[in-house]
Homo-oligomer: A and B are copies of this chain.
Amino acid sequence: MKKILSLISDDFEDLELTYPTLRLREEGCEVVTAGAEAGHKYHGKYGVPWESDITFKDVDPDEYDGLLVPGGWAPDKLRRFPEVLEIVRKINAAGKPIGQICHAGWVLISADILRGKTVTSTPGIMDDMRNAGATWVDEPSVVDGNIISARRPPDLPAYMKDYIKVLFS
């Protein structure tokens, strides 16, 4: 059974957090949600509630087989936690799949793991992605090694199909 870490903060894009989590549970994975607080009910930008299991500080990156970063406004908060960036860097260094969708790229930019990578994101942060050293393309889902990226909620089916393929490859 694979164990996946999902990062949360308020104003996540409701479907971009919930769809990947439920989808990987359907695939038999354990998905653990980490926030600044444990056992805290966070809310998506539309208001969907989702509870964190553990805090960022509780995370041992070695225990996980992959990472999910949601979009919405949550990434603007997530990138400010040094422990979040450390988690992202360690999971990336281990070559484990990292999924980013929409504005999630901001977190990967701050972890400085996008140099030389081909990615997509919401077009809103395309310039930030390029300035961080990535090649930006406008496609529903993009896989470059362990980095899987997508643009927006309607891309979720293509995104998760790719994420699952990389996770189980």
Interface residues of A (CB under 8 A from B): 14-15, 18-19, 22-23, 25-26, 44, 46-49, 153, 156-158, 160-161
Inter-subunit contact B46/A161 (CB<8 Å): no
Whole-angstrom distance from the CB of A165 to the nearest CB of chain B? 12
Whole-angstrom distance from the CB of A14 to the nearest CB of chain B? 5
Whole-angstrom distance from the CB of A97 to the nearest CB of chain B? 17
For chain A, what secondary structure do more than half of its interface residues adopt (helix, strand, loop), or is it mixed? helix
Report B-chain residues with C-beta under 8 Å of the C-beta of A156.
22, 26
- Cross-chain pairs A/B with CB under 8 angstroms, 26 sampled: A14-B14, A14-B46, A14-B48, A15-B18, A15-B22, A15-B48, A18-B18, A18-B19, A19-B19, A19-B22, A22-B153, A22-B156, A22-B157, A23-B26, A23-B157, A25-B157, A26-B156, A26-B157, A26-B158, A26-B161, A44-B46, A44-B48, A46-B46, A46-B47, A46-B48, A46-B49
**A128 vs B157: C-alpha distance in the bound complex, in angstroms?**
35
Nearest-neighbor residue (CB-CB) of A48 within chain B: B46
Whole-angstrom distance from the CB of A160 to the nearest CB of chain B? 6
